[in-house]
Structure 1
């Protein structure tokens, strides 16, 4: 009996030792191969989006998001938790009381996101903590006011879905999350090893938009829309030489400047006149006769009216006074000599009928049918900016080709992007049309866009809307300040006045004045850091400063000492206005 008992003890002991050995080996193996490591994810963030002056338009922050595992909770507690006051209070803490009735249809319930983990833990009763998973996540923050939402765009699940967020998504998107790993480096009792791999965030981008100027002009546009009882006011402002868009806004609820099109009206005339001049079909002195209307196609019962009877008029004055008859007859010279295909080629060379390539997804090509799809009189209507649909961004770039000495510059929102250009007109042709556009503002249909002592080239355009009494009033032009800017403004369906010379031209003037005021203020702020307080300085000191800083100084009033001074943006650059007095100021 004793022998049998001893044998059983031995077998039990051997079995125990064997099981213990296997267990110890498994533990050692798991530790040695890092299977007992504690790993924690460190969320990588999307890159920031900045405006042209380095101010944040969009950024990201790390937040903690709580998820309630309802399936696990049901497996442990059944449905009794739904009646638990602590559970009901927890949902209330997260503002989710109404979700109680939907729990049967969910496996996971998102409780909310907070800046700190502790904020979440305070809202959860202790008995429910084990059913809640708290994860690090990225929260995107961006400026969506002042029509910037169309430019900056939005994200969803860490991916850009509209605007610059979508176009530059590959650059902005986080590259990889980081990891914090704490593990045993050897067997039980040895030191703890900690490894941290930093997250790799997405790249930052810088847009051409000036957020302060955008806000300033957006606020003005909203007031102007109300004043004119219009459905929309839009403004595009671009550097002529670089194509960099500094302001892009519409008061509409969607971005019409690249996702909508309009008939350009008379703003197309400079383009057609330039093409005819380039082809040698006309000169500025070419004579026409305007009886106040035109029948463009013989034998067809079609009459296109002009605003007035111009009688004998040259090509030059035809643009200055926006004569429809001159424009249609000039267009007729093109198709009579080269065919309708040449007119189509001219329009496409200026960028109509295709996307400009602006860095915004969803840009449309406008509406320009090929010649084989044209109606018999389409060429004549195109001559006055009808039977063609252009996006405002297309029209801006096309007109800019003329005032930019015949060079087309692709509009861009990428501050660091490459400037894309192509020559479509000779400099001589562009110079002739620019002279005409200057007189449009000085003595033609665009006089209401004139700003004293500022050089402005421009053209009015009043586009009839299909089958409606409403119009779209446009003015497009170039102004020379610290640099040359090409600006397009449009007012859709104004109810008080209709003509662009009365509605859009004054708006253009207002935009230029707002731009001058904005630049003057910025110049004063920037120059204050570089130029000392010159109040009380003598003439000799002023001359020395002007030579050192290469400043253009304008002296007002006679005297020996500087009494006051201010900066001003002019067509020649930044000027320092100085008022003198006979005695040193106190």
Structure 2
């Protein structure tokens, strides 16, 4: 009996121990679920019964510098499905058929989406208002609409390469929309709806709307009017010369603000998928090309800054120059003969620039290449900027230096070259190019303003101004005469470069024609570059293809900005359109002067005898009616340099560079006083003096 009781006690104790262990196990499990993983499992449970409908934020507006809208966001409904509700309705096939007809989709594809095992499926994004209203009226089970915003570009293709594009998910993909996506894009919101285990919406349950935070708006440096002028002129050259590409950029050299940037081919960002992807490339910051003679501006700047050359330094061009085993020729093998450095630039003489480059040496030349920003990004606030290509310094030889000095061997981007030339226009100070001007909050208040950013002093102020006068001569007397703008002093340089072949060497019949410059030359307000890739037909030179585009862009832009005219009086009210500007013929031969004056529709009266003109009336740049008689005065004695006596020409109103050129040509020396344009001179115009005499010229501000 005692043994039986002991056995029973053992069984009870064992059972009790198992009960205790089981209870502890349950308690441990409860602790694990409720305490350790409580928050995690609660979140999962919430996710299982909650349905999120995303609500995209509206992107901020993109304005031009004058507050005109370039890119905005507009509302559009998007169609979505709750597959559990669709399946529960038992009308999946009917719903799929209806949606496919209304939305223009494949029925099978729609059916798969609305019956998919998921909590949320997009059917079609951003439908039009008529379609949205029709679906709302039908009220199909499990089918809903949510308001989204989409990007809209009211000016269509205008500034498309600057503005870029945005995806259907409201994310910037290219251009400013991508560069400043964090600012413009905003923060998305969502609608949260609670459902039961079989996917039914629970009445009176949790319905939360988390509103999106709309993006901030931005003001660009772009001026819509100047942008329109640029694109108008690119369209004209695109139609007339059918090139492979065309690029133009306008910048304020004093601040680095980009006022216009355009390329051809272009696209409409509202419907960008209908265009080839290549159309979206921003060639102004991406296209690397051999610049040709426009790069001679950098060579000239280096030579002047280092004191290797002066404006009156003498060169002799026999038509070609040997560098090692190679022979480099001037354009068409033309021999320019004896010339000053000013004339070397005006004639774009390869021999002169090769000689200057070799005298500078590799180390100095690379120093200025780097200082002017070549081989590195400018830092402009756009995605996809290229660095260009420089011959590595370690591999560079004398022949490389020779070709670099005249604009070959290295590849640059248009924005790099324009930034470099703007440095010359801005008294030698390089400014960082930029597009963002201001950031605005929801109330339109400025929360951030981008200030002009100086990069470095590349050349001295004196060198920059001296070079500007020399470049003005290119437009007045040299290869850039097609860039001349009546009433404005224009400085610039032409460029014509053979295109590099993908297989090496150069393509025989494809060229890049370009022009880069600034105006007014004595107080630059605008700098502009025009690059035309592979224009069809002849002539294909920068001076004949790109310079006229530059002229039209700059002329209309300067007038739009109300930059005062220089050298010509303002047109009075009532003045007929048959008025013309009197050309400057001082120091020209009589034959040349007659041709130029008659081309303007003016008559000529010749006074005196001799070969060169020392004065004229009316003065150069005066506004007169067609048919007006221009009196030209010839020297009574031989005016060629080296003769015993010469006649002093009329120098009034001319730049220091022009005066130096005119006097040097007839064997006289200049003693300048002051800066600006010639106001007084001694001896007076018409005086006969001995060759080698000094003419004192007082210069002052432009009237």
State TM-score, norm by structure 1.
Answer: 0.74
Match 1:446 to one of 480, 484, 509? 480
The 5 A counterparts of 1:288-327 are 288-297=315-324, 300-307=325-332, 308-327=334-353
Instruction: Check if 1:498 corresponds to 2:540.
Output: yes
Please state how far the C-alpha of 1:271 moved relative to its aligned partner: 1.2
Q: Is the 8 A contact 1:210 1:247 kept in 2?
A: yes
1:92 counterpart residue number: 101
1:20-50 residue CA offsets vs partner (Å, 9 max, x unmatched): xxxxxxxxxxxxxx99999998753222111
1:8 counterpart residue number: none
Q: State the alpha-carbon separation in 1 of the partners of residues 92 and 527 from structure 2.
A: 66
Please state how far the C-alpha of 1:135 moved relative to its aligned partner: 2.3
Match 2:306 to one of 246, 254, 279? 279
Match 2:469 to one of 419, 435, 440? 435
Distance 1:53 1:499, change over 3 A: same
2:177 counterpart residue number: 165
Q: State the alpha-carbon separation in 2 of the partners of residues 492 and 386 from structure 1.
A: 16
Please state how far the C-alpha of 1:125 moved relative to its aligned partner: 7.7
1:15 counterpart residue number: none
Task: Say which SS state the counterpart of residue 214 (structure 2) adopts.
Answer: coil
Please state how far the C-alpha of 1:178 moved relative to its aligned partner: 8.1
1:205 counterpart residue number: 218
Instruction: Check if 1:247 corresponds to 2:260.
Output: yes
1:73 counterpart residue number: 86
Q: State the alpha-carbon separation in 2 of the partners of residues 41 and 94 from structure 1.
A: 21
Distance 1:389 1:70, change over 3 A: same
1:425 counterpart residue number: 459
2:499 counterpart residue number: 465
Distance 1:330 1:38, change over 3 A: closer
Instruction: Check if 1:415 corresponds to 2:437.
Output: yes
Q: Is the 8 A contact 1:146 1:249 kept in 2?
A: no
Distance 1:275 1:256, change over 3 A: same
The 5 A counterparts of 1:98-117 are 98-100=106-108, 103-104=111-112, 107=116, 108-114=121-127
1:279-321 residue CA offsets vs partner (Å, 9 max, x unmatched): 1222222222111111122xx1444444420111222211111
Task: Say which SS state the counterpart of residue 141 (structure 2) adopts.
Answer: helix
Task: Say which SS state the counterpart of residue 170 (structure 1) adopts.
Answer: helix
Match 1:330 to one of 356, 363, 380? 356
Distance 1:483 1:369, change over 3 A: closer
Q: State the alpha-carbon separation in 2 of the partners of residues 256 and 179 from structure 1.
A: 43
2:626 counterpart residue number: none
Please state how far the C-alpha of 1:424 moved relative to its aligned partner: 0.7
Task: Say which SS state the counterpart of residue 293 (structure 2) adopts.
Answer: helix
Instruction: Check if 1:263 corresponds to 2:305.
Output: no
Match 1:474 to one of 508, 514, 534? 514
Distance 1:499 1:172, change over 3 A: same
1:381-428 residue CA offsets vs partner (Å, 9 max, x unmatched): 101111111000000000111121111111111123221112111111
Task: Say which SS state the counterpart of residue 470 (structure 1) adopts.
Answer: strand
Please state how far the C-alpha of 1:479 moved relative to its aligned partner: 1.4
Q: Is the 8 A contact 2:61 2:69 kept in 1?
A: yes
Distance 1:146 1:390, change over 3 A: same
Q: Is the 8 A contact 1:213 1:515 kept in 2?
A: yes
Task: Give 5+ residue unaligned stretches, structure 2.
Answer: 1-45, 195-204, 266-278, 439-449, 501-505, 577-622, 624-703
2:241 counterpart residue number: 228
Q: Is the 8 A contact 1:267 1:474 kept in 2?
A: yes
Please state how far the C-alpha of 1:249 moved relative to its aligned partner: 0.5
Q: State the alpha-carbon separation in 2 of the partners of residues 290 and 317 from structure 1.
A: 11
Q: Is the 8 A contact 1:66 1:111 kept in 2?
A: yes
Q: Which range moves more in the overlay, 457-466 or 369-378? A: 369-378
Please state how far the C-alpha of 1:366 moved relative to its aligned partner: 0.7
Q: State the alpha-carbon separation in 1 of the partners of residues 51 and 237 from structure 2.
A: 61
Please state how far the C-alpha of 1:195 moved relative to its aligned partner: 10
2:424 counterpart residue number: 402
Q: Is the 8 A contact 1:491 1:504 kept in 2?
A: yes
Task: Say which SS state the counterpart of residue 294 (structure 1) adopts.
Answer: strand
Distance 1:121 1:399, change over 3 A: closer
Please state how far the C-alpha of 1:218 moved relative to its aligned partner: 1.1
Task: Say which SS state the counterpart of residue 436 (structure 2) adopts.
Answer: coil
Task: Give 5+ residue unaligned stretches, structure 1.
Answer: 1-33, 183-191, 524-552, 558-562, 566-576, 578-586
Q: Is the 8 A contact 2:243 2:536 kept in 1?
A: yes
2:13 counterpart residue number: none
Q: State the alpha-carbon separation in 2 of the partners of residues 180 and 70 from structure 1.
A: 16
Distance 1:43 1:111, change over 3 A: closer
Q: State the alpha-carbon separation in 2 of the partners of residues 196 and 92 from structure 1.
A: 31
> How many residues are aligned here?
478
Task: Say which SS state the counterpart of residue 247 (structure 2) adopts.
Answer: strand
Please state how far the C-alpha of 1:231 moved relative to its aligned partner: 2.1
Please state how far the C-alpha of 1:503 moved relative to its aligned partner: 1.5
Q: State the alpha-carbon separation in 2 of the partners of residues 220 and 555 from structure 1.
A: 25
The 5 A counterparts of 1:120-199 are 120=132, 122-123=134-135, 129-143=140-154, 145-146=156-157, 148-156=159-167, 157-175=169-187, 177=189, 199=212
Q: Is the 8 A contact 2:322 2:328 kept in 1?
A: yes
Please state how far the C-alpha of 1:512 moved relative to its aligned partner: 2.1
Q: Is the 8 A contact 1:43 1:62 kept in 2?
A: no
The higher-RCO structure (CA 8 Å, 6+ apart) is 1
1:211-254 residue CA offsets vs partner (Å, 9 max, x unmatched): 23322331331122221232222211111211111110111322
Q: State the alpha-carbon separation in 1 of the partners of residues 51 and 247 from structure 2.
A: 56
Q: State the alpha-carbon separation in 1 of the partners of residues 358 and 142 from structure 2.
A: 78
Indicate the RMSD between aligned Cα atoms, in angstroms: 3.6
State TM-score, norm by structure 2.
Answer: 0.62
Please state how far the C-alpha of 1:378 moved relative to its aligned partner: 1.3
Match 1:358 to one of 372, 380, 397? 380
Q: Is the 8 A contact 2:296 2:405 kept in 1?
A: yes
Instruction: Check if 1:393 corresponds to 2:401.
Output: no
2:690 counterpart residue number: none
1:570 counterpart residue number: none
Distance 1:483 1:323, change over 3 A: closer
